[in-house]
Amino acid sequence: MEGPVAPVAVVTGAGQGIGLATARLLAQSGYRTVLAGRDRAKLDAAAAAVPGPALAVAADLTVPAQVEELFATVEDTWAPAEVLVANAGTSLAAPITRTTDAQWQQMLDTNLTAPFRCIRRALPPMLEARRGRIVVIASVVAKRGERQVSAYTASKHGVLGLVRAVADEVARHGVTANAVCPGYVDTPMTDATVAAIAERTGTTPAEARAVLERRQPIHRLVQPEEVAAAVLSCVQNGAINGQGINVDGGAVQS
């Protein structure tokens, strides 16, 4: 006799870093995991590294039709998502006076509008089932301003506001929405930040990385698995709702 079917979790930006660590942890916790992102080769490799059933779906989430295609594929292949982890994002460093309209729009499209569309599409089946978890990977700059990253900071402030509004709207229907707000994490995105700092300041990559490490009281970069653990706590605990949970070694206290 077959046992119960495992619930489905969709993780965006799952080809590497926080997304991959989260997909692995959700799989270990009994979820069928959907790994979404732009790079098919990375997704296939990531899916192969995930224990248990894993489905790789290539999608550019800044394109509305591809958001619909992602969730339709998940539902046709398995079932509606019970968990959505909106992790896909991008960063940009530039003085505000040198931030172009195109760069500003890129930050909003990827870090704010794409999660909005994913949440909007994932919610109806969750509300119907009266069960669901939404977690957005934001940033500590969702809670503070920081020089050189005005567009990125604005997009992350926006997505935290989105999460809080959604949380209040759906709480009475068995669905929760939270944000996890990491500091500097040891990921390829941070590697790019390190390279940009080194180039801008004339330092070595090691020196630039040390600068980021010192910005956090623990004097090291956060590990992707530490962020994933915070995501899992939001998934497992239905009393956590509308929160922006800092995973930054104590850099921002709230």
Local mean pLDDT, 10-residue blocks, the chain (254 residues): 83 97 98 97 95 97 98 98 97 94 98 98 98 98 93 98 98 98 91 85 90 91 97 98 96 84
Whether residue 52 is contained in a domain is answered as yes
Helix, strand, coil percent values for the chain (each to nearest 5): 50, 15, 30
Q: What is the CATH number of the domain that holds 109?
A: 3.40.50.720
Crossing angle for the helix pair 101-108 and 150-170, to the nearest 10 degrees: 30
Whether residue 194 is contained in a domain is answered as no
Nearest in space to 88 (alpha carbons), one of 182, 192, 18, 181: 18
Whether residue 217 is contained in a domain is answered as no
The DSSP call for residue 130 is T
What residues make up the domain containing 14? 8-183+223-247
Residue 185's pLDDT is: 94
Whether residue 60 is contained in a domain is answered as yes
Whether residue 156 is contained in a domain is answered as yes
Quick count: other Cβ atoms within 10 Å of Cβ 157? 18
Half-sphere exposure (Cβ direction) of 201: Cα atoms closer than 13 Å = 16
In contact, 11 and 33? CB cutoff 8 Å: yes
Whether residue 75 is contained in a domain is answered as yes
Residue 195's pLDDT is: 86
Whether residue 202 is contained in a domain is answered as no
Q: Which of 31, 104, 152, 184 is catalytic?
A: 152
Domains in the chain: how many in total?
A: 1
| pTM as predicted | 0.94
Whether residue 192 is contained in a domain is answered as no
Active site residue 31: no
Residue 2's pLDDT is: 58
